[in-house]
Amino acid sequence: MKIKKLSVPNLFFTLLLLLVSSTSSYAYHGVASIDLKELLDAAWRQSGAAPVYERSKEALIDKSKLSQQLFPSAAQVGGSFNSDEPFKDEGRREYELNIASPIWLPRQRKAMSSEVAAEMGLLSAKEVLQRWQLAGQLRDLYWQVMVARNDIKLAERKLQISQKLVSNVNKRVQAGELAEIDLLLSKQKKLTAESGLLSAKQSLARAQLLFNGLTGKEAPEDWLSEEEQKIEIESHPVLVTLSKRLILNQAKSEKIKSKKRKAPSVGIGIRRERDDRNEDYQDSVGLQFVLPFENQVLNKSQLSQNLVAKSEIESRYFKEKYQLAKKIELARLAVKQAKKSFEIYERLKVLAVQHFRLMRNAFDIGEVGLRELLLVQNESDQAVESSARQRVEVARTISKLNQEQGALP
C-alpha cells in the first residue's frame, strides 16, 4: 500500500483516534483524595443527632451521681403529738420530732453504678452505629455524583467527536466526496450526543441536590480513594451495639438481685414529754432501724422479663452476625469481579481502538462508507465508556466493602 499524504480527512480521524484512545482523560483516577471524615462530620451536624446524644450523656452523668451519694434517696422528716387532754393544758403531753433516711443495701450501690456505666456504653455504641449508617448514605450519594460526573465527561467526549465529524463530512459533501445522506447521518449522531449530555447533566443535578441535603455542602471534585480494609466482624457497629445491650441486660439483672427487700432505713428522734401538768418535761433521744424481710417473689417477674430480653438479644446477635458475614463476603466478591471486569474492558478498549484505526484507513481509501465506520466507532465508544465506568465501579465497590465491614473514617 502506498503511503498517502496527511489530508484534512486523515488529520480529522487522527484527532478522533486520539480522543477515543485517551480514556484516562475522561475518567477519575484518584489523583487527590477527599476527607471522608470531614464530610461525615458535616452530615452528622446536618442531621441534628449530635445535641440529642449530648443531652442523653448529660442525663446519664446526673444519674451516675446518685450512686455516689451517701444515701440512695432523700431523708424524711416527721413529727407527732400525744395528749389525754388535747384541748386543755392538763394531763399527759408528748411531743416528738424525728428524721429517717433509707440506706444502701449490700451491692446495691455497685449494681446501680454498673448499670449507669452499661447505659453509657450502649449510648456511645448507638452513636457510632448511627454515624456508620450515615456514612453509608454519604458513600452512596457521593458515588452517585461521581458516576454522573463521569457520564458527563464521556458525553462531552462523544459530542466533541460528533461535532468534528459533522464539520468534516460537511466539507466532503461540499467537495462531492460524500452524499447528502452521510451529512444527515452525522447530524443525527451529533443530536444523539447532545441528548446524552443533557441527560447526564440532569442526573448530576439530582445527585448533587441529594448530597447537599445530606451534608449541607457541595460534593467535592476530588476522588474518594479508599483502601480495601479487613476488619474483624465482632467490631462491626451493629454487633457492638448488641453486645452493649447484653452488658446492660446483665447489669439490670444484678440490680434486680440486689433488691430482694425494700430499702432499710435508719432514723433519729427527739421526744419531749410529761405525765401530768404539775410535772416537768423530760427529754429523750431515740434511734430507729427498720429492716424489711426478704421477699423472693418481689423481683421474680422482673428477672424473668430480663432473661427473655437476654435471649432475644443473643438470638438477634447471632442472626445479625451471620447476615453481616454474608454481606461482607458478597461485597468482597463484588470487588474481585469489578477488578476482573475492568481488566477485560481495558483489553476490549485496546482492540476496539485498533479496529477503529483499521476502519478509518479503509474509509480514507474508499473501501468502506461512513455508515460502516460509524458502526465501528459506536463499538469503540462503548468500549471506552465501559472501561471508564468500570474504573469508577472498582472504587465504588471497595467503598461499599468497607461500609459493609463497619469501617468509619
> What are the cell numbers at 294?
426478704
pLDDT value at 3 more than 60? no
pLDDT value at 236 more than 90? yes
> Can you give the residue range of the structural domain that contains 167?
13-293+305-404
- Summarised one tens digit per residue, pLDDT across range 318-331 is 999 999 999 999 99
Confidence of residue 348 (pLDDT cuts 50, 70, 90): very high
Q: What value does the mean pLDDT of the chain take?
A: 84
Q: Is residue 146 part of a domain?
A: yes
pLDDT value at 151 more than 50? yes
pTM of the full predicted structure?
0.78
- Summarised one tens digit per residue, pLDDT across range 14-39 is 444 444 444 444 444 333 456 788 89
pLDDT value, residue 298: 67
**Quick one: which H or E segment has residue 81?**
strand 76-83
Residues near 94 by Cβ (< 8 Å), separated by ≥ 6? 80, 81, 82, 83, 271, 272, 273, 274
- State how far the Cα of 109 lies from the Cα of 67, in Å rounded to an integer: 5
pLDDT value at 9 more than 50? no
Q: Is residue 409 part of a domain?
A: no
Percent of the chain with pLDDT over 70: 90
pLDDT value, residue 68: 75
- Summarised one tens digit per residue, pLDDT across range 274-327 is 777 777 778 888 887 777 776 666 678 888 888 999 999 999 999 999 999 999
Domain count, the chain: 1
Residue 90 belongs to domain with CATH number: 1.20.1600.10
pLDDT top residue among 103 and 330: 330
Q: Is residue 242 part of a domain?
A: yes
The mean pLDDT value for 339-361 works out to 90
**Quick one: which H or E segment has residue 76?**
strand 76-83
Please name which of 115, 138, 375, 389 lies closest in space to residue 252, comparing C-alpha atoms: 115
> Number of C-alpha atoms within 13 angstroms, CB side, residue 326?
5
pLDDT top residue among 33 and 214: 214
> Number of C-alpha atoms within 13 angstroms, CB side, residue 272?
5
Q: Is residue 5 part of a domain?
A: no
Q: Is residue 367 part of a domain?
A: yes
pLDDT value, residue 33: 55
* Residue pointed to by grid coordinates 428524721: 99
Q: Is residue 381 part of a domain?
A: yes
Q: Is residue 196 part of a domain?
A: yes
